[in-house]
Structure formats: C-alpha cells, structure tokens
Amino acid sequence: EDLFIGFDKNETLQSLVIDVKKSFPEADEEEVLIKCKEKLINIASSDGMIRAEQSNLHLEEVRYWKNVYFNNQHHNNLIDHIQYRLKNFVHEENTPIQEGIVNDEGLQIIINTFSNINTDVKTCLQNQISCQVDKLSTFKTESQFQNRIKYFWTESQDEMLILQCDVTTINAGCIKLAKFLIEQFRNEYLQKKRRQLQLSSSKQKDMQQLPIKHVCIILHIHRELGSSSASFDFMCGWDKITIETLLPQERNLSTLLNESLSDLILSSTYPFEVILKQELLWCLLCIKYPSNIKSVEHIKMLNEKICENPILVNFLKTRTLEWLIENPNNMNWQYKIASNKKLLYAYSSFVNALLAHIRSIVRKPIAKWLYALEKYAVIHTIIFLYNKSLTTKGPAEFMMEGVEDYDETEKIIIDDDAYLLEFWNKMVDDKNIISIEELIGDPSPDSYKMPHGIYELEFPFSYYIMKKIDDSRRVYEEELSSLFNDADNVDKTTGKLYSYKIEEYNKKFIKNIGEIPIIKNSPIVNYPEKYFKDFVNVILSNEVSSSSEVGEKDRKSDEELLKLIFERRLSASDNDILNPVRLHLCWWENSSSILAELTLAQISPHVIKQFDTETDENKLLEIEFEKYLVEQVIRDLLNRIIYLKEEEKKRYGD
C-alpha cells in the first residue's frame, strides 16, 4: 500500500489481470505480465520506487521499471502528463485503429495526488487545453452536479472536464456516483457524435463534427492517512496514474535520484550558491550575537553581502564539499528520505522532501564555518576588502618583512588590497587557525555564542593577532615583576622600577613577540595604521560602546580621541607608536587611566578643537595633557552651571 497508491489486496491485482487480458486477448503470459507491471507501476509513488531498490526484488528488474517510471511515464506534474497524453492521443487519432482503440472518444484519466485540493489546476493548464474545473465538495445536491456535468457535454466549449475530490472529506460513494454520472453523460455525447458521423457519411458531405472531449478525476489523498475506499480498480475503464504534485516543482525529481550530495551541489541541478542564498539567514541565526540593534544591523548586512562576495562563497563551497565527502550519508541519501515517514510526510511531495533534506544537510557545515570566521571577526574584513578592491586605483609600493623564505627585506610592488586579500586567504586555509573540529553536534538557532561583540575590522585577522599578543600578558607581567629582585633596577626614592629599565625590558619583549610566526609572517609592518585602527575599535566596542547605542558620528569622534590618547602616551617615534606589541603594552599598563581620559574628553568637546590646532612647538606633554583635560572639563561644567543660572533668572526674574 505504501508503494502502490490505492492498492487493495482483495481486488487490485485481480482486476489488473482481467483488464489486461480483456484489452490484449491474444497476448501470451509473458506479455500479459509485462503489461500488468507497466499499469501497476503507473500508480506507484516515487518514494516507493526508491525503496524498492533496497527490497528483495531482483535489482536489475527494479532498476528497469524505475527508469520506466521516472523517464517514460511522465509523473512529474499535471501539465507534463497531460501534454504527453494529448500528444500520444493525437498521434493515435491519425493512425489506423488498432487493438480496439477508439481514438475519437477522448481521454479518461484518474489521477492520485498528494497536492492540496485548492491547487489551481485551471491556471496550470490554461495554455495547454481549455478546462472546466469543479470541486465535488462544492455541490450540495446531485441535481446541481448533474446540471454542471451536462453543461460541459452539451454547451461548454471547454475540451476537458476536471473533477477534484478530497478523499478524506468526501464520501467514497459520492465519488463513485460522480464518476458514474460523468460516464453516463459522456456515453450520450459519444452516441450523438457517432450518429452525426454516420449522417455526414450517408449524405457524403462534410458536417461540423462534435469536438473530442476529455475527462479527468483527481483524487486528493493525504499521504499520512494511507489508502482510501474511494480508489478504483483497473476494470473501471479509466487510465490510472499517480502524480504526487500537480504543479511543476522547483527541481525535476529524476535529476535528484542518482547523484551524491557533493555532486549535486556542484552541478546545475541544485547549485551550492542557490542553497546558500536560501539557508544563509538560518545559518547566521545559529550564532548568538549580543542582543542589541547593532547585532541586528550586522546580521542584515551579512545576509545581504555574503552571497555577493565570490571569495566567501568559494571558501564556504570548498569547505562544505570537503565536509560532505567525509560524511557517511553523502551517498544513497535518497533511500534515507524515502524510508523515513517523519522526513517524508512533512512535505507534499518526495521532491520537496529531498530538497528540504539537501538544504538541512548542506547548511550544517555552512553555519559552523560562518561561526568559525565570525569568531575572529574576519567576515566583515573580507567584505570590506573585496568591495574596496573593486574600486582600487593602482598598486602600492611597500616593504614586506618576515617572510620565512627570505632572510632580507624584499621590496615589492603589489596592489594594496590584493595583498591583504591574499593574506586573508592564506589565514583561512590554515586549519590551525580556522577550524570546525571543536564544534560537535548539529547547529541550531543561538547554538554558537559569540565570545565578543560586533567588530568591524579592516586588517585581516587583526583580532586573532590581538588574542595571540594578549596571551603573553601574564608572562610580561611576571617577568616585569621579577626585575624588582635586583635592587639596581629600583628607584629607592619612589620604590618603582627605573623607567629606562622598563623600556629596556619592553624593547626585548617587543622583539621576542615579533618573532612569533603569525606576527613575523603577517603584513602588519606594511599596514600599521590599519592594525592601530582595529585595536582602537576593539577597545571601544568592549569598553565604551558595548550597548551599541552610540551613533556613527560619536563613534568616529571616540575613535579619534582614543587614537590621540594613545599617541600622547607613546612618546617614542611614529613607527614605535604603531608597533602592535607596544600598543598592547601601553594598554596593559594604563587601561584604567586611558579610559578615564577618554571619558573626560567626551564630556568636553573643546578638547578636539585644541588637538586640531596644536603644533609640534606647543604640543601638550602627557602630564600637561591630563591636567588640561581635568581643567577643561571643570571649566565647561562651571560654564554650563552659570549658563543655566542666568537662563533661570531671565525666565523667572531676579
């Protein structure tokens, strides 16, 4: 019953043999068996044909009938089957009458389908054949139904009558009565047509003949409810077929049946790019971002931009293919769907169940890789770099240091953005940096918690480099503390280390950290300002604007202020100011006071103007800068108080 729709063990096979023997009286047993199988396969379900391959039946024969079912019998959709039947009908009409076929009687088809009763059949067929489409459930009386059927056979110009019946809501007796009435009016129509033909022949002149009319009963079946008593046996005189979905599907079923998942997404059958666009938002929602407006805007941006970025798409496609090939369910996955009612019954057709399964499998590695990239804030970076590279104006000349294959610094001329894109690709290809091995279990909404907020960084993997440098903070602090063990390092009047001793140690530490492969082999030396900008942005995101309610204008102002504060604290040369390790040392030692200075500077907007008008001659020293900030804030607050008092006097009088 799961394989053959409407199968009844008490009458289906018996009626099938009788019908074939009646239609082909001269056929031998072998021919009768083949004809019976062909008719029986017509009412099979597509998922049942897939399950049959794993049954005890002879595999070669199962594959033969599978080929007949999917490639010869036209089960794809209603329009496909009607076109096929009408084409063959016209062909038969133009050939001599054989084997008792009466070619002018029209088609009689009973279709089993899992499509909804409200499927718009008329629109589906409007460009192929004119139809009168009725639902049996709309008629309240037998008289109403008879009048409607009579209208089709006597007055209507439509070529086909289609009657839709929901077998779960309409009594089986009503459906069989409807079929009987259709046949009754049809027989009257055919008799009238034959008399007209005889009259035309006897008078030896052409008369306008009645057109050929076709009838079709569509039985809408609910897959999960099993067979119905409304089904008809093979002796009913109608052709029977199962068409799971009446409307054309997103993909052709036959193209989905013989390929592995990895091959499918590489082909035009169901390309990876299409699946990515359909499932990208779900994958992004598997990442639990902070609950704020900025996260919402970030997700919207990623959902829009990722599919437009060929570098990201190719990366995700390559990694997904690798994951699928290693997945044991990559092959013979169709049988898994066909044999699992939970996976199958949730959809109106086997095609939809297969497509949903493909998406559910492919999106798993996509979600994991997106999280692996987002964890180091590199998706925004590659989107920024790619978009910028589209408008690049030319190559840049710079020095590239620290490449393992070269002992000396090499001067190269290369497109600025192309070089950073190349570095991004090199980093994501390193499985020690970007990996999903630790992500055990299937992804689901909010299953991967972001370890940080939303970072909009420009230098590739700058956050990863920051984490690597920060990993050395404990060592730095312990070794710095060990300097107190030598009394010569300590100023006896203050009890603190001599500043030159600290600087000596800092230089040594900076050199050692600079030898770490990720720093040594990265192009930071060529783009120190980008790393500096990213470093400042991370601090602002973590310490200042974590609520994400800070406007873009205020954020840029904060960024400029924090940069200036760092520059004043780092009193060495410009190159040292932008040295990534020195930036970290400054932050480790002075984070509290830096944030305090930033807070003061935010209160007093006049500070920015003062910075803009400074020259090297009158530049404020660090101690003067701190004093200036405090004085300026106090002055501004007093001015505001005085202003408010004066306004109050004006409003209420002295």
User: pLDDT digits over 319-359, tens only?
Assistant: 999 999 998 778 889 999 998 888 888 887 899 999 999 99
Q: Are residues 436 and 556 in the same domain?
A: no
Residue 560 lies in a domain: yes
The pLDDT of residue 36: 92
* Nearest CA-CA partner of 541 in 289, 246, 345, 188: 289
The pLDDT of residue 182: 95
Q: Are residues 320 and 380 in the same domain?
A: yes
Last residue in a domain, options 216, 242, 268 = 242
* Nearest CA-CA partner of 89 in 32, 128, 121: 128
How many alpha carbons fall within 13 Å on the CB side of residue 577?
Answer: 16
Q: Are residues 221 and 279 in the same domain?
A: no
The sign of the dihedral angle between the CA atoms of 594, 600, 602, 604 is negative
Residue 3 lies in a domain: no
Q: Are residues 436 and 534 in the same domain?
A: no
Residue 248 lies in a domain: no
Q: Do the Cβ atoms of 145 and 198 come closer than 8 Å?
A: no
Residue 16 lies in a domain: yes
Q: Do the Cβ atoms of 581 and 621 come closer than 8 Å?
A: no
Mean pLDDT to the nearest integer, 360-378: 96
User: pLDDT digits over 318-329, tens only?
Assistant: 999 999 999 877
Q: Are residues 236 and 271 in the same domain?
A: no
The sign of the dihedral angle between the CA atoms of 547, 548, 552, 557 is positive
User: pLDDT digits over 186-207, tens only?
Assistant: 999 999 988 887 777 666 555 5
Q: Are residues 59 and 27 in the same domain?
A: yes
Quote the radius of gyration of the chain (alpha carbons, Å): 39
Q: Are residues 389 and 472 in the same domain?
A: no
Burial of 246 (0-12, 13-18, 19+ CB in 10 A): buried
User: pLDDT digits over 286-324, tens only?
Assistant: 999 998 898 999 999 999 999 999 999 999 999 999 999
Mean pLDDT to the nearest integer, 107-134: 91
Angle between helices 379-389 and 293-305 (to 10 degrees): 50
What residues make up the domain containing 140?
Answer: 12-198+208-242
* CA distance between the termini of the chain: 98
User: pLDDT digits over 487-540, tens only?
Assistant: 888 888 888 888 889 889 999 999 999 899 888 888 888 888 999 999 999 999
Last residue in a domain, options 389, 421, 449 = 449
Residue 219 lies in a domain: yes
* 407 band by pLDDT with thresholds 50, 70 and 90: very low
Residue 4 lies in a domain: no
The pLDDT of residue 301: 96
Place of tokens 């953005």: 417
CA distances from 268 to 265, 272, 323 (A): 7, 9, 20
CA–CA separation, 426 vs 313, rounded Å? 16
Residue 177 lies in a domain: yes
The pLDDT of residue 465: 94
Buried b or exposed e, range 386-416, using 16+ CB within 10 angstroms: beeeeeeeeebebebbbeeeeeeeeeeeeeb
Last residue in a domain, options 380, 414, 449 = 449
The pLDDT of residue 546: 47
Q: Are residues 185 and 267 in the same domain?
A: no
Q: Are residues 233 and 264 in the same domain?
A: no
Q: Are residues 393 and 323 in the same domain?
A: yes
Mean pLDDT to the nearest integer, 150-158: 93
Q: Are residues 291 and 354 in the same domain?
A: yes
Mean pLDDT to the nearest integer, 77-87: 90
Q: Are residues 403 and 487 in the same domain?
A: no
Residue 178 lies in a domain: yes
Instruction: Write out the two tokens for 615.
Output: 């020259």
Compute φ and ψ for 97, nearest 5 degrees.
Answer: -70, 125
pTM: 0.80
Instruction: Please give the tally of structural domains in the chain.
Output: 3
CA distances from 446 to 294, 375, 440, 542 (A): 17, 14, 15, 21
Strand spans (E) along 68-130: 108-113
